[in-house]
Amino acid sequence: MITCLFLNLYPDINLGVKKLFSKAKLFLPRPPQSFLGLPHAMSLDTIKLPIAAELDTFELRFRAAMKSNVPLLDKITWYIVQRKGKQVRPMLVLLSARLFGPINEPTYTAASMVELLHTATLVHDDVVDDANERRGFFSINALWKNKIAVLVGDFLLSQGLLLSVKSQQFVMLELVSRAVKEMAEGELMQMEKARRLDIKEEVYFEIIRQKTASLIAAACCAGAVSTAPGDDEIRQRMWLFGEKTGMAFQIRDDLFDFGDDDVGKPLGIDIKEKKMTLPLIYALNHAERSERRRIINIVKNESHKSEKVDEVIQFVRQSGGLDYAREAMYKYRQEAFDLLDAAPESPARQSLRDLLVFVTERRR
């Protein structure tokens, strides 16, 4: 039933992907948040309460911003909207804005800009990584091939930047453009280091600061700027808060790759892609020279073999790499808490604290 409905809606998709519909589980609904290992009080629905109505308004604005006169593009953006994620970044924009005043039109512009940019990067990332799945659904490149996926990502990026120009929100344009630049630099730095596998901790932290934390920093900062314009101290503090939050968020993602929780998620994806993450870097730095050479050789030349990937995972687990990475994650989280505590006490501040806990304790 799902297959027939989907193919009727999308007759122009990549024909090769039709053979993949035996994996119909890709379209099954996710379990509720309370099943993901977090207490009910820490569910996303609870965290959203101070901005629940505003999130509904944002959703309408975001959909409107993706509209196009090109039928194929409209069809693809509709598909994107149906498979939306947790919307952490729009939540960060709205909650950061609410810290300093009522949510307004510039706030909605900022939230739409950030989510359009984030969506564009996901579409482009799937092309770069040759990924066929995203958030439990087929990726755009799997359905419509790479050329269309790249153009869709370009469209979303341009729409996001145009929003700020049309509304004359030039400070937000600067913030988001800074994030785009840093994300591209971080991705290229990671690719360069993957060839040599010589990454050090400080380089790793710089990569994730640029690749992941810069957009989260822009989200928090743009939200704050929308309700506290002209306050440079707030602007700098909220950028740093977002940056620390993003660092903790990415380290949590990196821990998933080594199975620090039994969540049924495929392990070793980063190893197969020759990405050097903090648990592995720590383990290599504390290994005997011969063991270090052996593990690096596996990552470089044998990461396509599942049994060899398992060897690396066990090596990291036994070395204390996971505990070390968790300590680093909690350090960044505490630094974010400290920055947030400078803001006035409010339901929005509490939700930001809860959201930070959510993203560092999540199980997927």
How many Cβ atoms from other residues are within 10 Å of residue 143's Cβ? 22
Q: Residue 26: inside a domain, yes or no?
A: no
Report how many domains make up the chain.
1
How many Cβ atoms from other residues are within 10 Å of residue 238's Cβ? 30
Q: Residue 62: inside a domain, yes or no?
A: yes
Helix (H, G, I), strand (E, B) or coil at 134: strand
CA atoms 108, 111, 115, 117: torsion sign = positive
How high is the pLDDT of residue 39? 44
Q: Residue 63: inside a domain, yes or no?
A: yes
Could you give the CA distance from residue 207 to residue 349 in angstroms, rounded to a whole number? 28
Q: Residue 25: inside a domain, yes or no?
A: no
How high is the pLDDT of residue 192? 83
Q: Residue 356: inside a domain, yes or no?
A: yes
Closest CA to 158 of 178, 180, 134, 175: 180
Go through 168-207 and write b for each residue having 16 or more CB atoms within 10 A of its CB, e for each that does not.
ebebbbebbebbbebbeebbebbeebbeebebeeeebbbb
Q: Residue 14: inside a domain, yes or no?
A: no
Query: pTM score, two decimals?
Result: 0.85
Q: What's 176's domain CATH number?
A: 1.10.600.10
- Mean pLDDT per 10-residue interval, the chain, length 364 residues: 47 50 39 38 84 94 90 90 84 97 95 93 84 77 90 92 91 92 91 79 94 96 95 96 97 87 64 89 93 90 87 92 96 97 95 95 76
Q: Containing domain of residue 124, as a range?
A: 49-361
Note the helical H segments in the chain: 2-9, 44-47, 52-65, 71-82, 88-98, 105-128, 140-166, 170-196, 201-208, 214-227, 232-256, 269-272, 278-285, 289-301, 306-319, 321-340, 347-361
Q: Residue 145: inside a domain, yes or no?
A: yes
What's the DSSP call for residue 132? S
Q: Residue 338: inside a domain, yes or no?
A: yes
